[in-house]
Structure 1
Amino acid sequence: MSLASYWEPISNDFERFVPLDLGLTRGSQQSKQVADKIKKFYFGNETLSISSKDQYIKLVTDEMFVCGIHETVKAQSASYENIYNYQFSFN
């Protein structure tokens, strides 16, 4: 598999990153608009390639971890008095 063939399916189907809990029908105009906004947020006008791998990693990390953490905090805040969400980072 070449690097170009790795990025092509991702570029051609950005709707895969539209969160399911938005309740949008895949292929709908609204779903495509959300996919375009996600792509623009993470990649700007850059095309997906090995040179944009850092942005891709950020997108996938947000999808796999940050969204789940956010949902957990939302669910817990409905039943607990005080919920605090901290983000630690380092270089």
Structure 2
Amino acid sequence: AIANDTEFGLGAGLWTRDINRAYRMGRAIKAGRVWTNCYHLYPAHAAFGGYKKSGVGRETHKMMLDHYQQTKNLLVSYDTNPLGFF
């Protein structure tokens, strides 16, 4: 799909009221972080990883030992008010 039509895969954001769609899309999008109903909000201790050409930084994190795995965070906001940068 259009969300994966890029060389990079550091982060992505999506907005939906359908939580089932959110999880399906979150798993299908090839990005290290996927925000749902918010953007650029994450805990400092969250694992870091990018897909495709966005893997820079892995070698300085404890997850470098898992270099051959694809790490993903699905961050979902249930707040009805706008959050984050958008």
Q: TM-score range by the shorter chain?
A: under 0.3
When normalised by structure 2's length, the TM-score is 0.23
When normalised by structure 1's length, the TM-score is 0.23
**Structure number having the greater strand percentage:** 2
**Structure number having the greater helix percentage:** 1
Q: Which has the higher contact order (CA 8 A, sep 6+)?
A: 2
Q: Which has the larger radius of gyration?
A: 1
